[in-house]
Chains A and B, each alone.
Chain A
Amino acid sequence: MNKKSLSKQIYDARWCYVFVLPCLILTGMFVIYPIGMSWYFSLLDWSGFTKEAKFIGLQNYYEAVNDQFFWDAFIRSFIFMFGTVPVKIVLGFIIAVFLNNQVLKLAPFFRTVIFMPVVTAIAIIGIVMTFVFSPFNGPANKFLMSTNLTSAPIDFLGNPDTVLPTVMGVYVWKWLGITMMYWLAALQTVPQDVYDAAKIDGAEGYRLWIHIILPIVLPFAIVIILVEAVGALNVFPLIETMTAGGPFFSSEVMEIYIFRTAFVTDSGTMPRLGYACAAGVFWGVAVLFITVLQGLWMRRTRRI
């Protein structure tokens, strides 16, 4: 049998390429080009809005890795990720297990309630939460005071010790619904006859979940963890609206750091788009590294 030439193969699949083309163009414009430009800008000493842009090689990278505020923000981003992802994964799974039970009549209602924050604008949530956690007449403090859990109001967002956990809590609440949906989708791939067979074999309760269901949904778990981890590293709008990284950098994660250095802030710091790009590229590579690790983990799990 004659093997078709490459040009013939392309010609035969021409309609596929035609349909893929718009997507390729858009990806090129809005993903590839910005990534490429940010790599280039990261090599410049440039404020971002003047003509004068001086090529300085890797100096921005050198400065970034020697900046304590950069590393503080870098570490804080991972604290945020490790503090929220496990909670979301476990909570989302537990809720999904309950709501996956066909016997539960109110399951659609609870699903809607839990999913509602997901479809609410994040900036609105951020602003509303500043009122919710206000130490002056904020509902959170009113509740704590009225139940005698605290004797004085807590400045959740103004205290460096409480600000990050508070924002993390809001983040978990805001996005828990989507994690739940991922788990529900995963659980619904488990065929009913598997449940039935397991029950016939005497597997019930936690044994059913640990030994039968969990191994089936484990590959999904890896994907969910990957998606959640990357999501937890992209929390700019929530933190910007709730704390803007304050007080005194206490909630400054990498995206806020990049934003602060890329634009003039109200602390009077001059913008440095070149430097911000270097920090962004460094951060992007770090996130990519995590993604690759998780991808490898997923492949390994699938083989098992």
Chain B
Amino acid sequence: MKKKKDLKISRRTVMKGALAAGAMMSAGSIPSKLFAGEFNIPDPLKPLPTTGGNMRWIDSGDMKGVFWKKLFPEYAASRGITIEYDGLPWKEINKIVPIAIRNGTVHDVFQLPLGMDPGVAVSEGWVQPWDDYIENLDEWLANFPAGVYLPGVNQFNGKTYGLCLTANKRTGTCLLYSEKYMSEAGYDPQAGRMTYSEIRDAAKKITKRGNGQYYGWIIGGNQVNRWEDVVHTFGQVAGAHGGRGGFTNRHINFQNGKFQIASDQYMEAVELLLQLKSDGSAFPGVMSMNAPQARALMPQGAAGMIFQGPWCIGVWGRDAPEWKYGIASEPVPDGKKAQPLYIAEGGSNTLWLSANSTMGPFAGDLIRFMGTEQGQIYWAQTVGAADPAVNPEAVAKAGLTGPSAQALAMFAENLLVGPNPIVRNKDVGVVAAKSRVPDPSLALVIQGLYTGQLKGVEAQLKDCNQRYEDALDQAVEDARADGANVTRDDWVFPNWDINSNYGASKYSEL
């Protein structure tokens, strides 16, 4: 008996087809191979070793991991090697990478732990430059937007040690909401940026309608950096102009070089979080869940709003494609106009090559391909706004639609490049290496205020601000004792116009 052949079309296949069709309409240069879910990987510019080998790669995962898991098998097969990929949360990277460096087993390609100064990695000899492994490096680097590759950030001693395939033009505290719940509460965040009062009111109404089945707002409160991220970004939107990044940038107002943790804008942001709790609008149990757990509860209908990053888009699209949600900019205090947010120059997700690695030719070949327009289009089509491709032209050609496109447009509108002390003076890197974030950090202080273990927002933030000031003073003093030529004045940028990008010409004026 002849067996009937079933025609099975998986959801993934349909999505691949739709993705490819959309991409081809917007970018005629995309190869037809993409339709089959394959990549058009070009031949290496120069012969690669024929000895094969296993390349180990670690990064912070999320949508990056989704992309690498698609590309790596195909690339590995084309080059006769194997690739072992570990996409882990930052908390794990912060633990694993230092230990692996210490015992000489770090991955061939890795990301540095958060807050670690790249200059330390170079001076300690943990990493090697990419220069020998990327053909025509200068020509290749010229394809990237200005400000991605900078001395003291990812270039040291005239060589390029860190490679960035993604831009840092994004925020991690967007308003992500259930369309249904928000609409039932009578609000449309797409109509304009919501105010703190509107957020509270919407959260109250959603909670009331939920009647114990769902709540107005959720946060992964066990993951303490989420508290700091929200207050930091909301404070900036409200007008606390300052830097982002590690301890030597974050929360510092570059107009006067001082920390602004105790500013009115930060206090208002903390008060908003406390009010969401006291209103009864917060999801019960936020203190015992991390950010991914909180994110996963949104499509399940457990809450109406969450302040998180565009990485949710890819995850929700994969896990809950039917769920309707929206993305909007961070809210603003009542009666205030939203201010720009600032990012430091450079890219994000910087990739470093282990000093002990013998897989440099393959890693360089792969990253070189990913830095081309074609590679960046591939990246943008899979990763979307979660970790935007660094090449804006490739992003435009990727044909993104829906929340990803909206998020990217939002970031383009809201974000400017701010000053970066390390670009001005590379010895700031020594200060970064000497820095110790005071205990308890701002993140923990906010968590303590939220749980009620700490009392008095103003007093706590003032104390915290002073601790940060003292810690930076101490780090500067320690760096100077080690011969670094640095002072607190390196954090003051008197020519900073808060409404425009701070570029090379501004640095030269100082």
Binding site for B on A (CB under 8 A): 48-51, 67, 69, 130, 133-136, 138, 153, 155-160, 243-244, 246-250, 263-272
Query: Is the Cβ of A267 less than 8 Å from the Cβ of B285?
Result: no
Of all chain B residues, the one with the shortest Cβ separation from A69 is: B439
Given known contacts A50-B124, A157-B287, A247 and B439 CB-to-CB distance under 8 angstroms: no
B499 nearest CB across to chain A (Å): 29
Interface bits B97-114 vs A (CB < 8 Å: 1, else 0): 011011000000000011
- CB of B224 within 8 A of CB of A135, answer no
Closest Cβ neighbor of B97 among chain A residues: A49
- A268 touching B441, Cβ below 8 Å: yes
Chain B interface residues toward A at CB < 8 A: 90-91, 94-95, 98-99, 101-102, 113-116, 120, 124, 221-225, 228, 246-247, 283-289, 297, 302, 433, 435-437, 439-441, 443-444, 447-448, 450-454
Complex interface: chain B residues within 8 A of A155 (CB):
284-285, 287-288
A269 contacts B437, C-beta separation under 8 Å:
yes
A269 to B441, CA, bound (A): 7
| A266 pairs with B91, CB closer than 8 A | yes
B437 proximity list for chain A (CB < 8 A): 267-270
In the complex, the answer to whether A247 meets B285 with C-beta atoms within 8 Å is no
Closest to A158 in B: B287
In chain B, what residue has the closest Cβ to A166?
Answer: B288
Partner of A247, one of B287, B297, B441: B287
Given contacts A247-B221, A250-B453, 16 further A-B contacts (CB under 8 A): A49-B101, A69-B440, A136-B283, A157-B285, A157-B287, A158-B287, A158-B288, A159-B451, A246-B287, A247-B288, A247-B448, A248-B440, A264-B113, A266-B223, A267-B443, A268-B228
B247 x A263 contact (CB < 8 A)? no
Evaluate contact between B287 and A268: CB separation under 8 angstroms.
no
Shortest B506–chain A CB gap in Å is 28
Pairwise interchain contact A248-B94, C-beta atoms closer than 8 A: no
Please name the residue on chain B nearest to A270 by beta carbon: B436
| Contact call A266/B439, Cβ cutoff below 8 A | no
Instruction: Judge whether A157 and B288 touch: CB under 8 Å.
Output: yes
Q: How far is the CA of A263 from the CA of B297 in the complex (A)?
A: 30
When C-beta atoms are compared, the residue in chain A nearest to B303 turns out to be: A136
Complex Cα–Cα for A136 and B293 (A)? 12
Evaluate contact between B102 and A49: CB separation under 8 angstroms.
Answer: yes
Q: A50-B124, A135-B284 are in contact. Are A268 and B443 (CB under 8 A)?
A: yes
Bound complex: CA A108 to CA B283 (Å): 44
Docked Cα-Cα span, A201 to B297, in Å, equals 66
* Least distance between B403 CB and chain A CB atoms (Å): 25
- B288 adjacent to A248 (CB under 8 Å): no
Question: Chain B residues near A264 (CB, 8 Å)?
Answer: 94-95, 98, 113-116
**Nearest 4 Cβ contacts at the A-B interface:** A158-B287, A157-B288, A135-B284, A248-B448
A246 touches B453 (CB 8 A): no
Which residues on the A side are within 8 Å of B114 (C-beta)? 264, 266, 268
Q: A267-B443, A270-B437 are in contact. Are A48 and B94 (CB under 8 A)?
A: no
Q: Is the CB of B288 within 8 A of A266?
A: no
A263: which of B98, B283, B302, B454 is its contact (CB, 8 Å)? B98
Instruction: Give 25 A-B contacts (CB < 8 Å), ordered by A residue.
Output: A49-B101, A50-B124, A130-B288, A130-B289, A134-B289, A136-B283, A136-B284, A136-B285, A155-B285, A243-B222, A247-B222, A247-B453, A248-B447, A248-B454, A249-B440, A263-B94, A266-B91, A266-B114, A267-B224, A267-B441, A267-B443, A268-B114, A268-B228, A269-B439, A269-B441
Query: Which B residue's beta carbon lies closest to that of A138?
Result: B285
Nearest CB in chain B to that of A248: its residue: B448
Q: Which residues of B contact A270 (CB under 8 A)?
A: 115, 247, 435-437
